[in-house]
Structure formats: C-alpha cells, structure tokens
Amino acid sequence: MKTKLVTAIALIVGLLAVCTTVFAHHGDTVYDLTRVVELKNAKVTDVLYANPHVLTYFDVTDQNGKVVHWVAEGNSPVNVARQGWKSGTLQAGDVITTVRIFQARDGKPVGRMGDFTLPSGKVLESYGGSAHPSPGNTFKTDCNQKTVTGGFGALDCIGAGKPNDSK
C-alpha cells in the first residue's frame, strides 16, 4: 500500500512539472505586444522550420554600424503555411527588406514575429501579422477585406457577418 501511495504521488508531481512547462511555453508576457520594432535590411543566417515554432535567425546592422544577431519566433509550420509560406521560402543569405517584430521586454534581440517584407514586396506574416499579434489586444483586423488570413486576426471577423464569417 505504501509503495502505491509513493508511486501515485511521484506520478502526480511529475505530471504537474511537465504540464506547468507546457502551459508556460505559450505565454506572451516575454514580448512587448504593444510596440512593433521595425528593422531594415536583415540578412537571414538560418531558418528552423520545425515544431513548435518557426525560428528565423538574421543579422541587422544597428545605427552604430554594429551587427546585431536577432531571432524571430514565428507561429507553427502548419500555421505559417496557411499564411503563404513554407520550408524553403526563406533561406540563409536571403535579405528581408523590413522586419516587424515584437521585441522581448528585456531588450534582447529576440522577438515574436509580426511580418517580414521581402525585396519582391511579398509579405510573410505570422500570428496574424504585426497589426494583430494576439487576442485581447488593442489592435483590430480590417474585416472588410476580401480575405483575412491566419493568426488571430480572422477571429475578430467571426460572427460579424464579414468575409471570413464561419456561420
């Protein structure tokens, strides 16, 4: 009986430890979602196109001429694919004309991806783009567009009788 009790307690403690980590992973408190940081002429150094998030590593030269190494956390591969990009869309050596990112609150060169504008003019979005980083914020999606793609932006239009209304 004592062995079963110890085993049950150990199992519960183990599950709580794992579940706490999983829930903490999806918090947005590390990023300042109220301010978009705009970076110019970023050179991609690597792209990790894997679950749970697409990570884009890139270098940007700051106003003092110093190269700063950045990391942008995008949505999952499945979700960014719905927004028009896939593995191989970005590769080391590519240039991103404009990066819009929600930087970490501690000022480190890491952030949640808003969108990337490529030299061709194509815009790659994640999490609904830089105009709509997360639910419950002050940014609003334009539901009058013909399509509202990906992220949480489309959720604003559900039930509003707009193009992406799922009723």
| Boundaries of every domain in the chain | 37-128
At residue 150, the 3 state secondary structure works out as coil
Q: Which positions ≥6 away from 59 have C-beta within 8 Å?
A: 42, 43, 45, 67, 68, 69, 70
From the CB of residue 6, how many other CB atoms can be counted at a distance below 10 Å?
Answer: 10
Residue in the block written with tokens 């002050």: 138
Q: Which pLDDT score, from 0 to 100, does residue 67 have?
A: 96
**What CA–CA distance (Å, rounded) separates 91 from 151?**
23
Q: Which pLDDT score, from 0 to 100, does residue 30 have?
A: 84
C-alpha of 140 from chain center: 17
Q: Which pLDDT score, from 0 to 100, does residue 135 have?
A: 47
Q: Which pLDDT score, from 0 to 100, does residue 117 have?
A: 93
Tokens of 22: 């999983």
**What CA–CA distance (Å, rounded) separates 3 from 61?**
61
Q: Which pLDDT score, from 0 to 100, does residue 31 have?
A: 86
Nearest to 40 by CA among 18, 25, 28, 58: 58
Averaged pLDDT, groups of 10, the chain, 167 residues long: 62 54 55 89 95 94 94 91 87 95 93 92 82 53 53 51 44
Nearest to 69 by CA among 47, 49, 44: 44
For 37-128, CATH number?
2.40.50
Q: Which pLDDT score, from 0 to 100, does residue 85 have?
A: 85
Instruction: Please work out, in degrees rounded to the nearest 5, the angle formed at the alpha carbon of residue 87 by the alpha carbons of 81 and 93.
Output: 125
CA 67, 125, 73, 37 dihedral sign is positive
